[in-house]
Amino acid sequence: MSTVEKVSTHTAELPTVEQRPRKLPYGSGSPEAADDVAEQRRYRRMMAALLAAGVASFAQLYAIQGVLPGLARELSLSASTAALSVSAATTGLAVGVLLWAAVADRIGRLRCMQIAVTGTVVLGLATAAAPGMEMLLGIRFLTGLVVGGVPVLAVAYVYEQLSGARAAVAATVYISGTTVGGALGRLVAGPLGAWLGWRSALLGVGLVSLAAAVVFLVLAPQERGARPRTDRAERPSGRIRQALTSRSLLVLYMQAFLVTGSFVAVFNFLTFRLEAAPFAIPAALASLVFLAYFAGTVSSRLAGKWLMRWGFARTSLFGVIAMFAGLGVLAINGLMPIILGLLLFTGGNFMAHAAAVATVGARAGAGFRGQASALYNIAYYLGSSLLGWLLGVAFDGAGWLGMTLGIAGALMIVVVLNTLSLRDQTETHHSPGW
């Protein structure tokens, strides 16, 4: 099936103004009104549950990033070697997403997400007790393997349970949850690590994730409708082939790899820069840079609105340009420029990411939406683990400037991809152009 046919097939799924949730007049007592009230209640519960799922999983995934300098000092590691604790988890996640997508076709997406969130909390608490680096990396890999059940299934779950604007907004709310979770994990771990050590810090984050997991398990609405059939015509290998033959989806996968690797590298190594001369900022204060993550909470929600107005390419391109601007400001040796640059860089990253996540759900066919989401997440977390580590090697060898040049090259490729997408006939002929 051609790209044009795929986009045409899913034009009905694209959000329009008419599909936005509407407010009912007070006292309306018709059966249709009652059904719509129940649907709005279900929608609100799903929004809260997705937010909690993002917090529970991503607080665990990235908490260790807030204690990397302390971990490196205690275990006598280089910056790039300590960052392997982040890469191990994201590599496990990249390995696990296709497995989760296949299992979900049999037992349901929500059940898999419930298992994944619960397992993530258990393994996150176990990380704090790891006796050495080897065991730590092993547990982190398993954590990523389990966490993979959340991001790969969340968007497919949303698009199967909601439609139109509600699905797009819910998908971007989930991304907001990941930003809140990532920020909370780092912000809790950073100060605790400076005062009590990195093990106590990870234990504290585990308790935060446990509370969020309980909220998700209680609020997540049960799935409606039949699960996808698993006959021979719909085997996972066939679905994966479909998800790999869409040129528009391939662009999204490549963007995920490049943007995420660049973003993770900045957050992996910025605290090393701040704790060294000329800044010499204490670890507890240096960890406050992760407050910039909340810029992503705002920009990811904004992306949901801009998608409906401008389409994917323009929304994503705006985000990547903001990343470029932030990267340039980050190169200035001053605390205020670093804060401003980090806000721009973070906001731009999550705008591009939220736009891409929602677009994967809209462009993929119903029969292979789970596999398309899985491939996007594989690219996303391979970028985090592989490109994030390679940029760390550049940081070890050539400092912040060397890493900045590497990130600029990666982002330039994304700018080219987004610019070419603006000329794609599937966007110019199918407004709003997802």
Residue 50 phi/psi, 5° resolution? -65, -40
Using the 8-state DSSP alphabet, how is residue 70 labeled?
H
Q: Which domains does the chain have, with CATH numbers?
A: 3-224+236-428 (1.20.1250.20)
Instruction: Please check whether residue 215 is in contact with residue 47, taking contact to mean a CB–CB distance below 8 angstroms.
Output: no
The predicted pLDDT at position 16 comes to: 41
DSSP of 1-29: --HHHHHHHTGGGS--GGGS--PPPTT--
Instruction: Output the pLDDT for position 237.
Output: 67
Per-residue pLDDT of the chain (434 residues; tens, 9 = 90+): 433 333 333 333 344 433 444 444 434 455 555 557 777 888 888 889 988 998 999 898 889 988 888 888 888 888 888 889 988 998 998 888 878 878 887 888 899 999 999 999 999 999 988 888 899 999 999 999 999 888 878 877 887 777 667 777 777 788 778 878 888 888 889 889 888 888 899 999 999 999 999 999 999 888 875 554 444 445 566 778 888 878 889 999 999 999 999 999 998 899 889 988 899 888 778 878 878 878 887 898 888 788 888 888 899 999 999 999 999 999 999 999 999 999 999 999 999 998 898 888 777 766 777 778 888 988 988 898 899 889 999 999 999 999 999 999 999 999 999 888 776 644 444 444 44
Q: For 131, phi and psi rounded to 5 degrees?
A: -75, -20
Alpha helices of 279-387 — where are they, by DSSP H? 283-286, 293-310, 312-330, 335-363, 369-382
Cα–Cα distances in Å, from 284 out to 64, 110, 265, 280? 14, 38, 20, 12
Q: How far apart, in whole angstroms, are the C-alpha atoms of residue 316 and residue 352?
A: 4
Q: What distance in Å separates the CA atoms of residue 326 and residue 328, rounded to the nearest whole number? A: 5
